[in-house]
Amino acid sequence: MKAIRLKTLIVFIFLFGMHKNRAQQNAELVIGKPAPELELSESLQGPSVDQISLAKLKGKVVVLEFWATWCGPCVAAFPHINELVEKYKDKGVVFISISIDEGANASEKIKTLLKTRPLKTFVVKDAEGNLTQKKYNAVGLPTTILIDKNGNLDAVTYPTKLNEEVLGNLLAGKPSGLAKQNADKPAQVITEKKENPEVFSVSLKEFTGQGNSKYSFKTVLGVTGYNSVDLIEWLYGVEVARIVLKDSFQEKNWKCEAKFPEQIGKAGTEQIMACLKKIVPPVLGMKVTEGKQKMEVYVFKCVTGPKKGRKSYLQKVEDDGGSHISSSGDGFMAASRAEFQGIVNWFSGYEVILINETGLSGKYDCNFFFKEESFESAIESFRECGIEITKEKRVVDVLFLSKLSETDSATSTGH
């Protein structure tokens, strides 16, 4: 894989609770409708909280920034926000940064941070329980909310999406163009009241090194050196041959990693992977659509096997230990106590769709000898072992990858 210069770092930080007693509530958060009123506990910079309300700010464009002192991407956006504050300070745009920091020393944390990382907006603390954050479904941080001069919700977006064109549109009484929801589709709010919420973070950045790897440990999982299509293959657990490209994508390699509390268990990691499937494709500018398509496939059927061939062999063994599959990289593959499906899956690295109809169960030892450059050469090795492989055309499940349009962006999850 091609080594490239590090250019991008995108990090998402989420409040993450796995408990079944999670409180759920619906909020009518609809583009073009009145934005929910603010509920604030303290003003740390700017007017007092009783002077900061959408009712009193009607006639001005309002930009809400939900952030926290522990959110690196939020702080990284400060310079961009400050630049816009300077440009629009006398032009009818009000910027309000709403901190969701909680705890007895939250105010001191904010003040300390602002001494070294100045922020030129109004800076306020959300009400106890982060009621305003919940009203606006600002689960991911940072979240930017745009409110037009009539007090109506215009868009849910990111601070880096703000520019002169967007704010100019709002000042002219037009939509910003950054709407993130359909006008008739209310947002679903999922919140949990916890004193010490578990936190998980997801980072996605361009990768500079050589090679690739996949890893999973007690508190972290991820991949390194994967291109965009590789990432989709990993996230969805499909063979790369089942991914159909409708558009071309940049040849970049990525490192994608999720960190999480040790106690979340298997169910928690499954939820994290589900979140990654929603988060990562839109960030890469990709739309993933599940569908079906007639494609060339290789079908495995058991004829006289499993058995020992002239060189290759496939033999059923007792399940008395761990399994292992390895390759020398020169046309030799060996497996010890592996399920037959696992052996089949190993060959999907040749970017072919493989369908196992052998009905073989249990664990197997095997040695296969073949020419490294193509899957076709492996067919004879399987035939020696009593497994016939035929090439057919079948309608199979696939993933269609296309570029994310503005309409698609409006319905992408998170923002």
| Predicted pLDDT at 120 | 97
Judge whether residue 249 has pLDDT over 70.
yes
DSSP 264: G
Judge whether residue 310 has pLDDT over 50.
yes
* Domains of the chain listed by start with CATH number: 19-193 (3.40.30.10), 200-284 (no CATH), 295-397 (no CATH)
- In whole angstroms, what is the distance from residue 282 CA to residue 280 CA? 6
- In whole angstroms, what is the distance from residue 264 CA to residue 217 CA? 12
State pTM to two decimals.
0.46
- In whole angstroms, what is the distance from residue 150 CA to residue 56 CA? 11
Greatest mean pLDDT among 103-117, 262-276, 378-392: 378-392
User: Measured on CA atoms in the order 41, 44, 49, 54, is the torsion positive or negative?
Assistant: negative
- In whole angstroms, what is the distance from residue 240 CA to residue 398 CA? 10
| Predicted pLDDT at 103 | 81
- In whole angstroms, what is the distance from residue 8 CA to residue 381 CA? 45
327 or 143: which carries more pLDDT confidence?
A: 143
SS3 (DSSP) at 105 = coil
Give phi and psi for 316, each to the nearest 5: -75, 140
Query: What mean pLDDT comes out for the span 134-145?
Result: 86
pLDDT band at 406 (very low <50, low <70, confident <90, very high): low
| Predicted pLDDT at 167 | 97
Query: What mean pLDDT comes out for the span 380-405?
Result: 93
Query: Mean pLDDT in the chain?
Result: 82
Query: What mean pLDDT comes out for the span 329-358?
Result: 85
Q: How far is CA 271 from CA 13, 197, 256, 292, in A?
A: 15, 16, 16, 26
DSSP 364: E
Dihedral over alpha carbons 266, 270, 272, 276 (to 10 degrees): 150
